[in-house]
Structure 1
Amino acid sequence: MADASTLRALDAVKALAFIGDLSMGQPTDHSLRTSWLAARLAVAAGYDAAQCDIVKEVSLLRWSGCTANAAEFSAMLGDDVGGREAMLAMRPGWGGVAEAQGRLDATITPLAQIHCEVSGDIARMLGLEHATQTALRHIFETWDGGGTPNKLAGARVPETVFLVVLAGDLEILSRTYGLDAAQTMIERQAGRRYPAGLASLVCAQAADWLAELDRHDAAARDEALDALPIHQHTAPEIIADVIDLKLPWMAGYSRRVAETAADCCACLGFDDAVRHRTYLAALIHGMGRMAVSNAIWNTPGRLSSAAWEKVRLVPYWTARAGKQIGALARESEIASQAYERLDGSGYFRGATGGMLSDEARVLAASASWVALRSARPWRAALSVDEAAALLKEEAAAGRFDARPVDALLNAGRDDYTPSAERAKPAARSGLLSPREAEVLRHISQGASNKEVAKALEMSPSTVRTHVESVFRKLECSTRAAATLKASTLGLI
């Protein structure tokens, strides 16, 4: 946005923790509870206050990279959300997990590399300590060297990793199987997944810690988190970029909706406060999408009733985020109305006209306008005229407010690209060559090297050379990390 909206980095961390928990099939307070338990373990292990803060940060951002490999997990397990939930609960009888374990080196290691690189980059973008970044880049390593992606062992792994993993295991396993079973499962992993001494410490204190945690309400946990020394501000667009990583064909979508909605507010003469709220709400309106597996999002044709019910709950989860991220409560409420319609035919509330604010009306129309003009796995992008005709039809039927629809169509007929996107060519041309930028835009949307070669009429080897050059210039090693960094730099 032209006025450079910012957000407290701590609130961005809370939002990313919420997104990560949904993506991993966990309750939305899993990372918060893990952070509390990890801090308790750190104190018991003799850590000082500054080290405990690092442990809390790593706990909250542990799953921040999980949207980056959701497509690959979906291809491997069929259900990226349910499959990862089963893996975290150590359910060996679940077929998908057994298959995943059997293909560890061939499949899991590359996925771990994607996750670790992206989560480490997110911590860097948020301005967090180097120790936080390093721990996140090694979060799947184990004490015995059997972890991923680098097979580090013992003291070569930051001890913060073991503290966070142990706390996470205790939270998940005690909730799933009960305390006694959780202690037994942790003891079995001692000396392998984490150091035996730390595992013994957890098992000895687990009952007291869990009882104390259960006595603490959400407000008390928030107060403890607010004491974290994360005082800087960050661009809220990082949340949108992480959301969009889940589905390659959604790359840049949330930013485009936000810019379109902000421009629409300006066209309608709304003041800066309304424009700012609408912009932020548009950036985060896809948070609830994390709760739905990629297999459903990629389904061509009509969804089953069960799948459609999960999709209908997407804005519900977005609304729930506001309850957990106090600073974004108002924006989350607006964001959760992105799929409501004036005639009550939308979801999840079935709200009608009088219940929808100006911000919600602009967001709903803007999200639809951008979606219609964007390619999806089951259809090509609609032309301006085709999208305009559909939007006008919806407005005439009483589903959209005609005012934002008219503003969108009047502003977007000749130039669909929002103002902030029109300002980016100079940024694009500095770091990457025009051809590299073209290749990056294609691979960021999930295209293979062969598909890029066909689309851009070049050889696969030439595409590979461009990809290697992009990785080198952006200082990354995976496509997901390149996409995230390029979005942040305004290169795509």
Structure 2
Amino acid sequence: MADASTIRALDAVKALAFIGDLSMGQPTDHSLRTSWLAARLAAEAGHDDAQCCVVQEVSLLRWSGCTANAAGFSEWLGDDIGGREAMLAMRPGWGGEADVEGRMEATIQPLAQIHCEVSGEIARMLGLEEMTQTALRHIFEAWDGGGFPERLDGARVPQAVFLVALASDLEILSRVYGLEGAQTLIAQKAGRQYPAALSRIACERAAGWLAELDQQSAANRDATLDALPMQQSTAPEIVADVIDLKLPWMAGYSRRVAEAAAGCGTRLGFDAELRQRTYLAGLIHGMGRMAVSNAIWNTPGRLSPAAWEKVRLVPYWTARAGKQIGALARETEIASQAYERLDGSGYFRGAAGGAIGAEARVLAAAACWVALRSPRPWRAALSTDEAAAVLGEEVRAVRLDAGSVDALLSFETDGHEPAADRNRPAAARASLLSPREAEVLKHISLGASNKEVARTLQMSPSTVRTHVESVFRKLECSTRAAATLKASTLGLI
């Protein structure tokens, strides 16, 4: 699609750290603080500079797989965000009925498998070192061999796993329970979650480190991150794909919004730089969605006032991301205006008229169009004519910009080839999966079960299962979330 469509891997990592913190119910600088603490802990424990860099990278990407299992946590705990916040804070009874009934291990294992596989795959896609990838693929293993996903004993687990786990515990538990409370809980986990010697170092140095960290400015912290070996270019679409993993029925949504916005901008005469900026804004406009639980997003009817207020804050959280990701500041500003309306009825700012720039007007129209044309748990996708009629009503009500809507509909109805298809030759796509496998993959990527796919495609569940197994084998993955992520990158869905 876009011109010079790459960003620094480091900026993608910062975006993913922000997304992960929101998804886990943490302050938006949790991963940044953990990264700093993990590096200090590694250095104090005698590790070299290379290992210190690895633990920083792992800290920033530790939660990158958490959008992929949000649906599972939502089904288990009701609130994927609040439930995981309680889990990390070790609040009594956080596991609910699964804990009471002795089902914790069986419940957590598949969720950990999804998380680890996806986060490791993200590191691979970003071009990070093998040590970082391996640590992320084992990020929930424990020193005593009781961790996930493979229950490896401590000697077989990368040291970065324990360094990051301990740094994260120190950051979270000291914030929730105070320094002494954190030291007590860390001591209880010593010898089980991480080596006892490592926990002693953390507890001895904790007061000084936390005081130093609290006094550190954001600029100084960014300078430390900018020194990390993640300066290579990467595709910005990976951020969009991770965002969309949170809700199975959102697969590919952010890419389609970005493509529609850029196409609309082309029709309006945007230059290459403006088109690229609008495209990137479309990719990341859903970052703030991570702050809202899946239970709210899956609500079939009218939202309660409290739930609606959380939804209205989605673009606020997207705007906050720009504070963490300096290189994408202009794009996040545009992205945060995706739900503003010309008459002032939008959110979160309630901006109106001239306060909404050309790029934001285009993005608002594109996001509305793609949402209407996409199926949701509570409704089927609208047809082209139906969606166009809705946009026409929005224009007449002076909520959407008429020029942007006209340009968008012109672009969307001229039979253009999707960007993913242009970037990957048809022959190459066809050689990877059979047409039937690609069809099955498309359905499962949107959250359909094997039985649902079987009914839709009029085949037996066993045949669907065979196709799914073949897709997993060809894509070298073992979970649907990882398959969806890889398929999006390869232009298969």
- Same fold (TM > 0.5): yes
Q: Which residue does 1:443 correspond to in 2?
A: 444
- The Cα shift of 1:270 comes to 1.2
Distance 1:238 1:3 in 2: 17
Distance 1:451 1:221 in 2: 48
Matches within 5 A, 1:115-134: 115-134=115-134
Q: Which residue does 2:485 correspond to in 1?
A: 484
Task: Provide the secondary structure at the position in 1 that maps to 2:201.
Answer: helix
- Counterpart amino acid of residue 220 in structure 1: N
Deviations 1:336-369 (A, max 9, x none): 0000000000000000011111100000000000
Matches within 5 A, 1:72-471: 72-94=72-94, 96=96, 99=99, 102-413=102-413, 415=415, 418=418, 420-421=420-421, 425-471=426-472
- The Cα shift of 1:273 comes to 1.1
Deviations 1:144-196 (A, max 9, x none): 11111101112111111000000000000000000001000000111111110
Distance 1:447 1:68 in 2: 15
The answer (yes or no) to whether the contact 2:3–2:276 under 8 Å persists in 1 is no
Distance 2:345 2:416 in 1: 27
- Counterpart amino acid of residue 256 in structure 2: R
1:419/1:178 CA distance change after superposition, 3 Å: closer
Distance 1:158 1:102 in 2: 29
The answer (yes or no) to whether the contact 2:420–2:491 under 8 Å persists in 1 is no
Q: Which residue does 2:47 correspond to in 1?
A: 47
Distance 1:20 1:2 in 2: 27
Distance 2:423 2:414 in 1: 17
The answer (yes or no) to whether the contact 1:67–1:245 under 8 Å persists in 2 is yes
Distance 1:7 1:391 in 2: 32
Distance 1:411 1:129 in 2: 41
- The Cα shift of 1:429 comes to 1.0
- Counterpart amino acid of residue 400 in structure 1: L
The answer (yes or no) to whether the contact 1:145–1:151 under 8 Å persists in 2 is yes
Deviations 1:300-340 (A, max 9, x none): 01000000000000000000000110000000000000000
The answer (yes or no) to whether the contact 1:239–1:284 under 8 Å persists in 2 is yes
The answer (yes or no) to whether the contact 1:92–1:98 under 8 Å persists in 2 is no
Distance 1:97 1:126 in 2: 38
TM-score by structure 2 length?
Answer: 0.98
Distance 2:220 2:21 in 1: 20
The answer (yes or no) to whether the contact 1:116–1:136 under 8 Å persists in 2 is yes
- Counterpart amino acid of residue 438 in structure 2: A
The answer (yes or no) to whether the contact 1:249–1:445 under 8 Å persists in 2 is yes
Distance 2:379 2:421 in 1: 24
Distance 1:429 1:453 in 2: 22
Distance 2:326 2:115 in 1: 27
- Counterpart amino acid of residue 65 in structure 1: G
- The Cα shift of 1:231 comes to 1.8
Task: Provide the secondary structure at the position in 1 that maps to 2:180.
Answer: helix
- Counterpart amino acid of residue 235 in structure 1: A
- Counterpart amino acid of residue 203 in structure 1: C
Distance 1:405 1:41 in 2: 54
Distance 1:350 1:123 in 2: 38
Distance 2:466 2:26 in 1: 40
Deviations 1:107-145 (A, max 9, x none): 110000000000000000000010000000111000111
- Counterpart amino acid of residue 231 in structure 1: Q
1:112/1:407 CA distance change after superposition, 3 Å: same
Q: Which runs of 5+ in 1 are unaligned?
A: none
1:99/1:325 CA distance change after superposition, 3 Å: same
What RMSD in Å do the two structures reach over aligned CA positions? 1.4
Distance 2:347 2:174 in 1: 35
Task: Provide the secondary structure at the position in 1 that maps to 2:241.
Answer: helix
The answer (yes or no) to whether the contact 2:93–2:99 under 8 Å persists in 1 is no
1:484/1:226 CA distance change after superposition, 3 Å: same
The answer (yes or no) to whether the contact 1:2–1:420 under 8 Å persists in 2 is no
1:475/1:358 CA distance change after superposition, 3 Å: same
Distance 2:374 2:100 in 1: 33
The answer (yes or no) to whether the contact 1:427–1:489 under 8 Å persists in 2 is no
Distance 1:272 1:150 in 2: 48
- Counterpart amino acid of residue 371 in structure 1: A
Higher mean displacement: 2-11 or 76-85 = 2-11
Q: Which residue does 1:20 correspond to in 2?
A: 20
- The Cα shift of 1:106 comes to 1.7
The answer (yes or no) to whether the contact 1:83–1:96 under 8 Å persists in 2 is no
Distance 1:37 1:423 in 2: 40
Distance 2:185 2:97 in 1: 17
1:55/1:422 CA distance change after superposition, 3 Å: closer
Task: Provide the secondary structure at the position in 2 that maps to 1:219.
Answer: helix
The answer (yes or no) to whether the contact 1:86–1:97 under 8 Å persists in 2 is no
The share of aligned pairs that are identical, in percent, is 79
TM-score by structure 1 length?
Answer: 0.98
- The Cα shift of 1:422 comes to 6.4
Distance 2:211 2:83 in 1: 29
Deviations 1:391-448 (A, max 9, x none): 0110111000000101122232363864555665444312101000000000000001
- The Cα shift of 1:217 comes to 1.2
1:142/1:423 CA distance change after superposition, 3 Å: closer
1:109/1:25 CA distance change after superposition, 3 Å: same
- Counterpart amino acid of residue 357 in structure 1: G
- Counterpart amino acid of residue 433 in structure 1: S
Deviations 1:251-295 (A, max 9, x none): 000000001111100111111111010000000000000010000
- The Cα shift of 1:94 comes to 3.5
